[in-house]
Amino acid sequence: VLVQDEEWEPLVRRARRGEPLAVDALIRRLAPDVGRICGAIALDAGDDAMQETFIAVLRALPGLREPAAVHGWVRRIAVREAVKVAQRARRTPPVDTDDPASPAPRPSPAVDVATALDVRAVLAALTPEHRAILVMRDLGGWSEHDVADALAIAPGTAKSRLSRARAEFVRRWST
């Protein structure tokens, strides 16, 4: 639920002026939420996604019209950056550095689920786009409208994507 929190305002104003302790306080306050979004969407690249998110946030902070709405604004940036980082990570699969001669054996998603039945393994089997929509709706409790807005897609598309993502999640989980 995106609640406009008046307490954010003084902190955002101080951070905007580049006050280092205020910048750090803002980051610390947003970190649990941003970490959850980036971790669930970008998985192993979650820490990178989190850093990219905050770089984007700090760059755009001076232009933020409503400081009180910073929380929802940052969450949207986190989703966008995490999807971007996750897509990039998919295109460049990790290489086994211990044995440069052979590419890293990537376990198939089905094997992952069978061997480690946890949320992470199930999430890893989904596309970044499906992870993003599950994180927003089912972990974050965002409204359909906010989800569609964050992903820049039509509400109807968000709805059908969510049902496909949920079905995929449950199917992978029960495999």
Partner 1 sequence: VVDVSDPTSRWPQATLDPLARLGLVEAAMPGSAATEAVIDAPFDRVWGYVADLERSVPEFDRLVRRIRIRSRRPADDNDDGGAETLDMQAWQVGVPAPMRFDVRLEPGLCLMRGWGRLYFVGMAARPEGDDRTRFRHVEGVPLPGARLLRPVFRRTTAGDMAGLIAALRAR
How many chain residues interact with partner 1 (CB under 8 A)?
Answer: 44
The one-letter amino acid code at 132 reads A
Q: Does 55 bind partner 1 (CB under 8 A)?
A: yes
Q: Are 133 and 165 in contact (CB under 8 A)?
A: yes
Per CB under 8 A, which region of 16-24, 91-99, 104-112, 142-150 contacts partner 1?
16-24
- DSSP per-residue codes, 134-152: HIIIIIS---HHHHHHHHT
**Binding of partner 1 at residue 87 (CB under 8 A)?**
no
Measure the CA angle with vertex 49, ends 151 and 131; round to 5°: 45
H or E element, residue 98: none
Sequence length of the chain is 175
Structure tokens at 58: 């700090």
Contact with partner 1 (CB under 8 A) among 8, 11, 12, 50: 50
From the CB of 163, what's the least distance to partner 1, in Å?
A: 13
Question: Does the protein bind partner 1 through residue 126 (CB under 8 A)?
Answer: no
Can you give the binding site for partner 1, defined by CB under 8 A?
A: 15, 17-21, 23-24, 27-28, 31-32, 34-36, 38-40, 42-43, 46-47, 49-51, 54-55, 58-59, 61, 118-120, 123, 134-135, 138-139, 141, 166, 169-170, 173-174
